Amino acid sequence: MSTFQAPKGTYDLTPPRSATFLAVREAISAPLRDSGYGYIETPGFENVELFARGVGESTDIVTKEMYTLTTKGGDQLALRPEGTASVLRAALEANLHKAGNLPVKLWYSGSYYRYERPQAGRYRHFSQVGAEAIGTEDPALDAELIILADQAYRSLGLRQFRILLNSLGDKECRPVYREALQTFLRDLDLDEETRRRIEINPLRVLDDKRADVQKQLTDVPKLRDYLCDACKAYHEEVRALITAAGVAFEDDEKLVRGLDYYTRTTFEFVHDGLGSQSAVGGGGRYDGLSEMIGGPELPSVGWALGVDRTVLALEAEGVELDLPATTSVYAVPLGEEARRVLFGVVTELRRAGVAADFAFGGRGLKGAMKSANRSGARYTLVAGERDLAEGVVQLKDMESGEQTAVPLTEAAAELAKRLG
């Protein structure tokens, strides 16, 4: 070990576990790429004001969890705590919404930073794959995203996840509900901070995890009873479309989520094997966000799935991903001359598209064969002085154990053929 360790709340991804992370990112993004979503990448930091306005001044993310910094030039920046505000900012800046092709469908994958209390499944640096569909109000779009996330989790082999669904109303009906909620909450026995929250962001109080708070919320006014007809119809259509797709969900009228920008459809994916950090992903519709960051009216919907927690969920369910071995051929030279010759064969194989590796460092046969085994290679190529004198290499099938001498000049072609 060196003098240094990964900073508090972070961890390194190293082989072999890192391969699972790559496979999860791939599995989550594949259904998006197949459904018209284009890849977008934005900087790891943004102007702090973007998140203050776009995520919301009253959210935990902005008040407590952001890594902010002042540059030497005096700019106020923040490491990105989430993806939606950045992606929308970038889409507006590139005028993607003006290309006359709405919705603008984008997917992204990257690192996010939140100054949180580190726990299992809760880190200060974590990884998300996300999707945003910008500029269209259509219940089929909300349904599409929920169905694609479900498809992604299922393709990984996850089964113990549930989809929680709610509607948060829109700018017509939400304010009416907000006031009724505030009136109800003001009469409860709550601490100072929660009382302040009632005034700034009362919906968040519904999300309070404490039992003594939840007990007082038994008769809290339900948003469902306040939804306007347009919101009700929209929500029913989303529910009907995902039901028709065979995707099971649970109505959860207390689901509000931590970000200020959500309107109408909100959803969360929870996994029952993860203890208290049970949310593996979440999202919803954010019709007002574009205007909040100075753009035109662009009703949009999106989600972000946490890669770290998805990997933990796989481990909790005992799902082993079927990851193909990365090396197909492993070359073991015995002696200087064989080293030169086999290194040439390995290069030739790689150029022919065959994944090949080599026993570097002039190790003995035993150690090199151990590495060959560990590499997962289907074939090894072994050559010593005698083989070279006869113009052959020994080709060993690691599955059957069968070994055959193959003319050196035909080795690469023979392997390419056998590997299909």
* Contacting positions for ligand ATP (CB under 6 A): 82, 114, 116, 121-123, 126, 128, 257-258, 277, 279-282, 304, 306, 308-309
Strands 104-113 and 76-79 turn out to be unpaired
159-187 in b/e form (b: 16+ CB < 10 A) is eebebbbbbbbbeebbeebbebbeebbee
Residue 399: CB minimum distance to ligand ATP, A: 39
Residue 136: CB minimum distance to ligand ATP, A: 22
CA nearest neighbour of 67 among 109, 18, 100, 116: 116
Q: Closest residue (Cβ) to ligand ATP?
A: 306
Q: Which is nearer to ligand ATP, 113 or 358 (CB)?
A: 113
Q: Which is nearer to ligand ATP, 72 or 209 (CB)?
A: 209
Alpha-carbon distances, residue 318 vs 159, 183, 273, 374, 379 (angstroms): 11, 47, 10, 22, 30
Residue 11: CB minimum distance to ligand ATP, A: 11
Contact status, residue 331 vs residue 345, Cβ threshold 8 Å: yes
Q: Which is nearer to ligand ATP, 313 or 342 (CB)?
A: 313
Q: Which is nearer to ligand ATP, 305 or 411 (CB)?
A: 305
Q: How many CB atoms lie within 10 A of CB 45?
A: 17
Contact status, residue 235 vs residue 224, Cβ threshold 8 Å: no
267-280 in b/e form (b: 16+ CB < 10 A) is bbbbbeebeebbbb
Residue 360: CB minimum distance to ligand ATP, A: 37
Sign of CA dihedral 49, 52, 54, 60: positive
Q: Which is nearer to ligand ATP, 118 or 376 (CB)?
A: 118
DSSP state of 61: I
Q: Which is nearer to ligand ATP, 123 or 234 (CB)?
A: 123
Alpha-carbon distances, residue 396 vs 337, 361, 379 (angstroms): 20, 21, 6
Q: Which is nearer to ligand ATP, 310 or 375 (CB)?
A: 310
Contact status, residue 265 vs residue 285, Cβ threshold 8 Å: yes
CA nearest neighbour of 336 among 379, 388, 395: 388
Residue 352: CB minimum distance to ligand ATP, A: 41
Residues counted in the chain = 420
DSSP state string for 285-322: E-TTHHHHTT-----EEEEEEEHHHHHHHHHHHTPPP-
Q: Which is nearer to ligand ATP, 127 or 371 (CB)?
A: 127
Residue 349: CB minimum distance to ligand ATP, A: 40
Residue 125: CB minimum distance to ligand ATP, A: 8
Residue 317: CB minimum distance to ligand ATP, A: 16
Residue 264: CB minimum distance to ligand ATP, A: 16
Q: Which is nearer to ligand ATP, 275 or 344 (CB)?
A: 275
